[in-house]
């Protein structure tokens, strides 16, 4: 083979390899562009759904706070099931309703029913205290701890021994949140209970309330009529004016 033919053949071979290389580069570029396009589209979709989730979450949160502000028991019951700040606030509101509206305010009308509601309120506040402690919620936790203490003191109208538990519960508030409004209030109750004279007077008040309101004692079962049989004699007008027998 002549030198010129050899040179021409080598040139054609080189050109062919360069052409093949260029085709591969072009094909690779198309694949890369397609990959970039798909990745970009996926990112845009992810951003869109994240934004929608954020907007819907904010809308739902706002709606829950509106339901709480409305304050109807129906809305509170719906919110009670939600593990959100508004749901927790609703659980606190329900605990207060059970304690005050269905418990304290009903003591003079339905003593056994009121005592049952006060026990329920105490349990609710204990559950809330645990929930807040687990969530490290330093805003609501002192309120829950104080709720437990107040419920226990109120229930002393049925069982005077609960004043001791109330004292320990007030101390728990002070130990953990002494500088909070709840801690300051708890300290005042604790100071009263630590004073022997004042504590004895407090016991007398609760014992008198139990007798005057005819509240069934904790150690006795409730009679069908609502009172513990034999716990207190029936109050009859004029009985206190009858002469005593020798």
| pLDDT confidence of residue 226 | 35
Q: Is the pLDDT assigned to residue 180 strictly greater than 60?
A: yes
Q: Are residues 96 and 60 in the same domain?
A: no
| pLDDT confidence of residue 73 | 73
| pLDDT confidence of residue 17 | 59
Domain of 97? 71-215
The single-letter DSSP state of residue 241 is G
Q: Are residues 86 and 189 in the same domain?
A: yes
Mean pLDDT, range 76-89, rounded to an integer = 88
Tell me if the pTM is above 0.85: no
| pLDDT confidence of residue 246 | 37
Contact in structure between 123 and 147 (CB atoms under 8 Å): no
The SS3 of residue 54 is helix
For residue 159, the domain's CATH number is 1.25.40
Mean pLDDT, range 103-112, rounded to an integer = 92
Comparing 157-171, 177-191, 225-239, which segment has the lowest mean pLDDT? 225-239
Q: Total domain count for the chain?
A: 2
Residue with the bigger pLDDT between 100 and 47: it is 100
Mean pLDDT, range 230-243, rounded to an integer = 35
Residue with the bigger pLDDT between 99 and 80: it is 99
Q: Are residues 64 and 78 in the same domain?
A: no
| pLDDT confidence of residue 233 | 32
Mean pLDDT for all residues in the chain: 77
Tell me the range of 28-37, 189-198, 205-214 where mean pLDDT is highest.
189-198
Q: Are residues 97 and 146 in the same domain?
A: yes
Q: Is the pLDDT assigned to residue 187 strictly greater than 50?
A: yes
């Amino acid at each position: 083979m002549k030198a010129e033919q050899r040179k021409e053949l080598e040139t054609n071979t080189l050109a062919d390899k360069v052409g093949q290389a260029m085709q591969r580069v072009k094909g690779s570029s198309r694949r890369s562009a397609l990959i970039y396009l798909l990745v970009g589209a996926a990112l845009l979709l992810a951003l869109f759904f994240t934004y929608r989730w954020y907007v819907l979450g904010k809308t739902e949160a706002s709606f829950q706070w509106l339901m709480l502000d409305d304050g109807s028991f129906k809305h509170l019951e719906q919110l009670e099931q939600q593990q959100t700040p508004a749901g927790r606030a609703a659980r606190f509101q329900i605990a207060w309703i059970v304690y005050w509206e269905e418990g304290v305010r009903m003591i003079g009308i339905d003593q056994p029913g009121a005592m049952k509601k006060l026990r329920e309120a105490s349990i609710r506040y204990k559950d809330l205290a645990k929930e807040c402690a687990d969530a490290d919620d330093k805003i609501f936790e002192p309120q829950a701890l104080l709720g437990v203490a107040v419920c226990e003191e109120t229930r002393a109208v049925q069982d005077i021994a609960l004043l001791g538990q109330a004292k320990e519960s007030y101390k728990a508030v002070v130990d953990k949140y002494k500088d909070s409004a709840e801690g300051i209030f708890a300290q005042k109750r604790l100071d009263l209970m630590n004073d022997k004279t004042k504590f004895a007077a407090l016991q007398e008040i609760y014992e008198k309330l139990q007798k005057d309101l005819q509240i069934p004692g904790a150690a006795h079962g409730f009679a069908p009529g609502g009172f513990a049989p034999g716990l207190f004699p029936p109050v009859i007008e004029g009985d206190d004016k009858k002469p005593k027998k020798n």
